[in-house]
Structure 1
Amino acid sequence: MTASPETRTVIPAAPQPGPARLPGIGTLALVRAGVELRSFVRERDAVIFLFLYPLVMLALFATVFGKEAEGIGDVTVNFAQYFLPGMIATGVMLTSFQSMAISIAVERDDGTLKRLRATPLPASAYFLGKVAQVLVTSALQTALLLALAALVFDVALPTDVGRWFTFAWVYVLGTAAGTVLGVAFSSVPRSGRSATAVVTPVVLVLQFISGVFFPFYTLPSWLQTIASVFPLRWLAQGMRSVFLPEDLATLEQTGTWQHGLTAAVLAAWLLVGLVVGTRTFRWRRRDDG
């Protein structure tokens, strides 16, 4: 005996699962930042250089020159205090511009970027992860510099809230500009192996002409003019306005700290880095199509 059509039970088909949704950009960026930080820590030689270089240079200057003073008239500071702003500025440049330019060139050369491009990870999450890594490492490096200056060389840190506000915006603008410029410059080296040789001389030259190793006012005027085109000179001057007495502004090129121009130049380089980086960034090697 067979069941009549009226008594048959029809079982609906199970719904097919749709494609899994990716987490938001913020979540992906945080995850990527963790990956970037772990990768950075594993590169022990790079970590040692980036963190120790400004610390060692500050210690060398402070030790060699000892209690010698730099200043004008009755307003003087010891060499440790005078060179601290330059060491902070060069530390920011190392962890942002140099680190980004070299690491991205290496990742492009070894195929890391190509593999990432083939995943659902948005490009924005990748770059935000890089930015977060730079901010964390740069902040830690700066904290170590300030601790060394204050605890070992008796440098008096600012107590004025206004000066720390200046420090904050100069630091953020300088770090942001250095990061995007590093991303843009990462397309210049032809391979990951040549990246260090291409990037490091640029950083060294800028350090020598931007008031990092020498008082800026002692440089020839033509070198001052050239240095004024680049962001490191303004980053160093902005930091000097935070850590040096107000009267020492008379030693600057125009006799003032030029906060407005500092902000404008750093913002302009930030915009240049964004535009150039967007147009020139490559996920693959030159010989990979």
Structure 2
Amino acid sequence: MTTTAPARERGDARRPGGVRPPAPRQPGLLRVGLARTVFEVRGFARERDAVVFVFLYPVILLAIFATVFGQDEEVLAGSGVLFPQYFLPGMVATGVMLSSFQALAVAVAVERDDGTLKRLRATPLPATGYFLGKTGQVLVTSGLQTAVLLAVAALVFDVPLPDDAGRWWTFAWVALLGTATGAVCGVAFSSLPRSGRSVTAVVTPVVLVLQFISGVFFRFDQLPSWMQQVAALFPLKWLAQGMRSVFLPDGATALEPSGSWQHGATALVLTAWLVAGLVVGVRTFRWRRRDDG
């Protein structure tokens, strides 16, 4: 006669009466995303050189342009727009691009190269949670960077900030849409470099060229028409133009080639790049190095 071992000895997890206990409840995607965001922000804060560069780069550029062109000089005679005020929107836009597109393109490529992504793929962390964490970290750092830049512009260079809710609403949707677009495109672009060592050499020229042709370093209306047309294909031009509509007076539309702020076109182009980045990112994203199977 075969005897049956007690349930405790067999490792049976059932409760008395043969009823299994309910499986532990898995955390929701939002909770996972928030937890991953906190983790990513802490990791970014430990990279002191990156923190200094991300936060100081736009401020230094604004100080350079304000000094070179003069804090009390008008961009266009009779416009009432001084050089520090005109360049501020471009610095905000380029700061968003650095915090989103460039930062993620480099970070994801490096994490793929050093095996971090491969190890994460073997954990219970869902892929969506990883990307939510990256996007959340970009939103936090971009927001803090912009706040520092606006404070310096107002306190040091006497740049007037908007005083009505409508302009701040425009600032909010342009900044959020631009940051999301930059983050998605950065993740998609991270698959292009062959290794983490080459990613900076691939990303930096792209960023510099876009800055030069998108009205960040120069008045956009003074650039050659062919350059304006090329810039209009990329999101940074529209991000900078959207920011100019926030920080410049309505009369400054005379400095725009189109004669208007083109908010509809700004939203359309940024959304198109957001969707395109998602499609390309889903199709090309890799968790392993090219030589790792």
Both proteins in one fold, TM over 0.5 = yes
Counterpart residue number, 1:243: 247
Query: CA, structure 1 residues 220+118, in 2 after alignment: closer, same or farther (shift >3 Å)?
Result: same
Give the secondary structure class of the aligned counterpart of 2:239: helix
What's the secondary structure of 2:81's corresponding residue? Answer: strand
The answer to whether the Cα contact below 8 Å between 1:101 and 1:183 also exists between their aligned partners in 2 is yes
Whole-angstrom distance in 2 between the partners of 1:15 and 1:39: 39
Equivalence for 1:140 = 144
Residue 286 of structure 1 and its aligned partner are, at CA, apart by: 0.3
1:109 matched to 2:113? yes
Match of 1:15 in 2: 13
Q: Determine helix, strand or coil for the equivalent of 1:191.
A: coil
The aligned residue for residue 183 of structure 2 is 179
Shift of 1:68: 4.3
Secondary structure, aligned partner of 1:58 = helix
* Structure 1 residue 137: Cα displacement: 0.1
Q: Which residue of the partner structure matches residue 66 of structure 1?
A: 70
Identity %: 69
- Contact between 1:69 and 1:76, CA under 8 Å: does it hold in 2? no
Write the distance in 2 (CA, Å) between the matches of 1:220 and 1:23: 54
Letter in structure 1 aligned against 2:109: A
- Structure 1 residues 49 and 12, CA, compared in 2 at 3 Å: closer, same or farther? closer
Distance 1:197 1:215 in 2: 27
Question: Take 2:136 and 2:6, find their aligned partners in 1: how far apart are those partners?
Answer: 52
The C-alpha deviation readout for 1:109-161, integer Å capped at 9, x for no partner, is 00000000000000011000001100000000000000000000111101011
User: Pairwise mapping of residues 251-270 of structure 1 onto structure 2 (< 5 A)?
Assistant: 251-270=255-274
User: Which residue is 2:216 aligned to?
Assistant: 212
**Residue deviations 1:11-49 (CA, integer Å, cap 9, x gap):** 766534676443111111111111111111111211111
1:54–1:90 CA contact under 8 A, matched in 2 = yes
- 1:155-194 matches, within 5 Å, as 155-194=159-198
Of stretches 132-141 and 57-66 in structure 1, the one that deviates more from structure 2 is: 57-66
Note the C-alpha offset of 1:186. Answer: 0.3
Equivalent residue of 1:187, what SS? Answer: coil
Q: Contact 1:109/1:285 (CA < 8 Å) preserved in 2? A: yes
Aligned partner of 2:94 among 90, 106, 123: 90
Please tell me the residue identity of whatever aligns with 2:232: S
Q: CA RMSD in A?
A: 1.6
Aligned residue among 268, 277, 288 for 1:284:
288
Q: CA deviation at 1:73?
A: 5.1
> Deviation of residue 72 (structure 1)?
4.2
Q: What is the aligned length?
A: 280
Match of 1:225 among 224, 229, 239: 229
Please tell me whether residue 33 in structure 1 is matched to residue 31 in structure 2: no
Alignment deviations for residues 147-180 of structure 1 (CA, whole Å, 9 cap, x no partner):
0000001111010111111111111110010000
Counterpart-to-counterpart distance in 1, 2:54 and 2:74:
27
Shift of 1:70: 3.5
Is the 8 Å Cα contact of residues 85 and 243 (structure 1) preserved in structure 2?
Answer: yes
Q: Unaligned regions of 5+ residues in structure 1, if any?
A: 1-9
CA positional deviation for 1:193: 0.7
Aligned partners of 2:184 and 2:281 also within 8 Å: yes
Q: TM-score, normalised by structure 1?
A: 0.93
- The aligned amino acid for 2:123 is T
Give, in whole Å, the separation in 2 of the partners of 1:27 and 1:161. Answer: 31
TM superposition shift of 1:233: 0.2
TM-score by length of 2: 0.92
